[in-house]
Structure 1
């Protein structure tokens, strides 16, 4: 059953200003080109006026300085953000506890809230603790002594290894492994590699979302920690003793080597990486495919391999594309210089 809100109610959710009918009823959300009457849509930039005028949506989220006669508008500072908040509200449903499926396996001495859903073939080890309104998907494996807070969603085939700690409102998508052994070996004089025991844990704080098929390794000693509000995309590797700061964004196929420490609101673009044992300051932005070596101060903007200040890298990359022409010009200049020297040399 769809939820129904007035335009005025939705505007209050996002601190917006209503232009038009506040009592207009909205029961869904759609893109400009596909929205139907009764739905809300949004315009991120004023340049899309023509698409808005053609849209069948009943109301629109728009930038605060946008106007369009005859249309119901909610003016906001950031339409993209406002759209996300309203979509989440429209989609929000009360948790329905399905209980423990008869084909799930639950170990001894577990502490389980009455409000949980555990899917078929899921396995809970001994002394697992699940908070209220937790959903464990089919085939997930929760190791011994793992604790999971309230309102968490663990999707199918996730593995959480023993003793790891998961906070509240955490989402972990299918296939991800939390708490696998860190990559640590000592090499003897014969070249043989001796595994170093990985004795620590992983701690995931509140409001973290982790994508599909990620690997977050347990610490060698102590804790690998993902701090509150961090969002991690699919196919990310986070090594032992890494610390990801609050509200950081880690995009697909990023690799963070052991003991890397990220500050708050750090952004790593797709396929970027960081060498181990370095500190990357708050609000640093790392472009896709960049390779970071060495500590970085807060507010850095990095790109390239090895990563250097982004403006410097983009200038260098622009020159790189011109190298064939520059080499051709250099060869021509060398010929001309040689000809001048030959002309100036006295004849014998």
Structure 2
């Protein structure tokens, strides 16, 4: 069953000063992802990006709602649709944008690019273009947290395509046996490139597979940031209490092509339906309208958007002005530096 939290009454999470701040942070987080991605599109068309990029436009509520349920010190791994995850975890936009342009000031020194972003300062352990490859990394991070007794959890993002990778099932199995503090979070946007989830999955909901590993599994409306936050927070609290892993699935939508700039020879989606998503299931618009309905000041929300836009503009200028890494940098970050 898909869980949503849509209600005419102000949710308890948004009551009071702290609740107000949480709601504003949700909007700010989604706008940081959306406007960063839109700036990325502009850079692509201007010829400033060296390759195609995988965008999170349409999936902002899933990413932001999940990350806001964690702490900065908690671990997080993403996937090839990579920008939204570190952004939602709190990474600096200027260093992320510089990485996309291959600049020395990027989070990985310009060596990772769009699909390989990592920022340890906010717990982002990295991402990869290899489908499912970050799943065992998150599982290992959960084991490390358990061994150290640090109280940290690991939030592991993957898509519906990776849901059928063997490494996910191996990881969930060992995480359940060892009761590791890991939240396996599936962003199910319905398509693994052009293959529909109904064609590639043996179950209607990825969350149903949790039962095979004796862990809770829940499917939520991925366009409802509060529903995602609530489900992930429950899983986070369970993990911190030592009760082991959980599987959260967010049913969401990928508004653009699998990779922006990629041409798929045979149409696999009804473009008129895809176009309608911007007005019917856009998570940013839905949450904005819901906040206004709950009594939030539209002027305040507009100011949030304006501030984020300025942040993104500054990030683009920083990235453009930053130098490329020198040729000798190719020989660094290859092996571990020996300590004296």
TM-score by length of 2: 0.20
Between structure 1 and structure 2, the one with the greater Rg is: 1
Higher relative contact order (CA 8 A, sep 6+): 2
More strand by share: 1
TM-score by length of 1: 0.20
More helix by share: 2
